[in-house]
Amino acid sequence: MEGARNPDAVRHAELVVLTVPACGHREVLRAIAPHVRGRVVVDTCVCHHHARPGVWVGPAEGSAALRVRRALPPTAAVAATLHAVSSRTLRDPARFPPGDVPVAADGPASLQAAAHLLDELGLPWVDAGGLEVAAVLENLAALLAALSDRHGVHRPAARFLGLPAGGSKPAADGDRPPALSHRGWPPSPRA
């Protein structure tokens, strides 16, 4: 693992994943915007109320993901996902199941890159649609955090019923289909 200043890290990145809190989001976006040409940027930000973690405070742009889209040049593609996936789940998805991990993306390239990342992490993903649905995903993450607090459990997870079968959980390594074949792939055409 290597460290670098944000602009340098982005310039050399295959995929950019933003994991900064809402208070630093704008500043980081300003710093990386000139360097993300041709990159896919995956955002994970949920704008929680600073004193009440289960309460979502929608930013002026409508959602953190739309803020990213607005802050970056059109030559960068943007996806938003992992909003409700904790570090514990990332370390051990079998012990702390994530439920379905929705992905919002501004087009096929960003969906494909985010889905590939989630496949690599062993997380079952769902194509949730365009970036305009990210506000709902960010809200859902806040709700799950609130439920976790209220009921004193590790973060509860959401499952979506009635979607096409074939990817509600990652296949075992031996019979894992090619990347991007989980539920939701191929993506439906977007306007």
Ligand X SMILES: NC(=O)c1ccc[n+]([C@@H]2O[C@H](COP(=O)([O-])OP(=O)(O)OC[C@H]3O[C@@H](n4cnc5c(N)ncnc54)[C@H](OP(=O)(O)O)[C@@H]3O)[C@@H](O)[C@H]2O)c1
CA gap 115, 108 in Å, rounded: 10
Q: Which one, 27 or 176, has the nearer CB to ligand X?
A: 27
Of 24 and 73, CB closest to ligand X: 24
Residues lying near ligand X in the complex (CB under 6 A): 19-24, 27-28, 44-46, 82-83, 85-87
Buried b (16+ CB within 10 A) or exposed e, 8-38: eebbebeebbbeeebeebeebbeebbebbee
- Please say which residue, 2 or 175, places its beta carbon nearer to ligand X: 2
Contact 38, 32 (CB under 8 A): no
Written as one letter, the residue type at 54 is G
Q: Which is nearer to ligand X, 98 or 129 (CB)?
A: 98
Q: How far is the CB of 72 from ligand X (least distance, A)?
A: 16
- 130-144 burial code (b ≥16 CB/10 A, e <16): ebebbbebbbbbbbb
Nearer to ligand X, 27 or 186 (CB): 27
Distance in Å, CB of 5 to ligand X, minimum: 10
Q: How far is the CB of 33 from ligand X (least distance, A)?
A: 14
Omega cis (within 30) before 189: no
Per the CB < 8 A criterion, the answer to whether 54 and 78 are in contact is: no
Cβ 22 to ligand X shortest distance, Å: 6
The closest residue (CB) to ligand X is 24
Q: How far is the CB of 13 from ligand X (least distance, A)?
A: 15
